[in-house]
Amino acid sequence: MTTRYEYKTVIYKENLIGSLLLGESKVNPERMTEMLNEFGRKGWRVVTMERENRRSLLFFNREAFLIVMERVISA
- Does the predicted model carry a pTM greater than 0.85? no
The whole-chain average pLDDT of the chain stands at: 82
Phi-psi region of 23 (alpha: psi -120 to 50; beta: other; left: phi over 0): left
In CATH, the number for domain 4-73 is 3.30.110
In the predicted model, what is the mean pLDDT of residues 35-60? 86
Domain positions in the chain are: 4-73
In the predicted model, what is the mean pLDDT of residues 3-23? 74
pLDDT tens for each residue of 62-75: 788 999 999 999 76
Of 7, 1, 2, nearest to 71 by C-alpha is 7
Does residue 47 register a pLDDT over 80?
Answer: yes
